[in-house]
Amino acid sequence: MAEPILEVRGLVKHYPLTRGILFRKQIGAVKAVDGVSFGLAAGETLGIVGESGCGKSTVAKMLVNLERPTAGAISYKGQDITKLSGRALKAVRRNIQMVFQDPYTSLNPRMT
């Protein structure tokens, strides 16, 4: 297999559950993504499928750094993109694209 262009190892995203207004105390966490790993080589396409609420969009948002992962590593062409900001992040975002499927246009009512 060719060298991966995009490599994700042990990706985790937990959202904290807090209680209190003045003194915020974390009482738990919502595990949106827990331990996702994959590699993507040149010319390959990756499709992430699953039921509603399973973390597909959260993984996509972490890949373009709209969400910061709780743990794990995302490397694009050997560079860890979780630590990028500013111009370097903008340059990487030009090469990564998310495509979301619209379920209403994907199903043709004439096809049974």
Q: What is the identity of the amino acid at 38?
A: F
Q: Mean pLDDT of successive 10-residue segments in the chain (112 residues)?
A: 86 91 86 92 87 89 90 91 87 80 67 62
The CATH homologous superfamily of the domain defined by 4-18+30-106: P-loop containing nucleotide triphosphate hydrolases (3.40.50.300)
Could you give the CA distance from residue 47 to residue 98 in angstroms, rounded to a whole number?
10
Helix (H, G, I), strand (E, B), or coil: what is residue 59?
helix
Q: Where are the domains of the chain?
A: 4-18+30-106
* pLDDT attached to residue 104: 67
Written as six digits, the tokens of 70 are 């709780």
Report pLDDT for 59: 92
- Find the largest Cα–Cα distance for the chain: 57
- Interatomic CA distance for residues 41 and 88, integer angstroms: 22
pLDDT given for residue 92 in this prediction:
86
CA 48 to CA 63: how far, in whole Å? 12
pTM of the model: 0.77
